[in-house]
Amino acid sequence: MSGPLNLRILVPAALFSIVIFCLPAFAATPFSFSHIDAEKLERQMWDYMQAADTANFGARVAAGFQAVHFDGTTDRDGEIELVQNMHMGKYELSDFKISYETGLVVVTYLARVEHQSLNGELLSAEVSPRMSVWIKTAGGWKWLVHANLNRPKK
């Protein structure tokens, strides 16, 4: 009778030990990523756009990227083409709100751009909301999603 009794004690004890000592190793590891780092990533993309630096801009855009704009949606290649055809003056970014999830960073903010045109159409210089989602990859942080809610100038 000592055999089954030992199993009834040993099996739960072993499972308990696995859960207590091993499970934390499998849990999502928190990553360190400060508020200023997320804001810095976003500002860097704006600098690339302003300079029409499509090489550095494209290097930060994830393969599965999607964006929504007043006139529709774009994928990675479409967004790079959009930057090639865009002209923008001075810009101001403000009111950053940043949230973190394992491997993702969501950034919302307000943007105001002077003299921004896209394909010859002047866009509004009014403050408009924006949102980006960044994903942690083996190659560093990549821009995965962007929403630009700016409209053409009326």
Which helix (DSSP H) or strand (DSSP E) does residue 86 occupy?
strand 86-87
Percent of the chain clearing pLDDT 90 (strictly above): 51
Tell whether 47 and 103 lie within a shared domain: yes
Domain that holds residue 83: 35-148
Residue 80: inside a domain, yes or no? Answer: yes
Residue 39: inside a domain, yes or no? Answer: yes
Tell whether 81 and 14 lie within a shared domain: no
Tell whether 84 and 14 lie within a shared domain: no
What's the mean pLDDT in 70-74? 88
Residue 116: inside a domain, yes or no? Answer: yes
Tell me the pLDDT tens digit for each residue of 17-68: 433 343 333 334 445 566 668 999 999 999 999 999 999 999 999 999 999 9
Residue 12: inside a domain, yes or no? Answer: yes
Q: Are 100 and 33 in contact (CB under 8 A)?
A: yes
Tell whether 63 and 136 lie within a shared domain: yes
CATH of the domain at 51: 3.10.450.50
Distances in whole angstroms, Cα of residue 86 to Cα of each of 6, 46, 55, 108: 73, 12, 15, 22
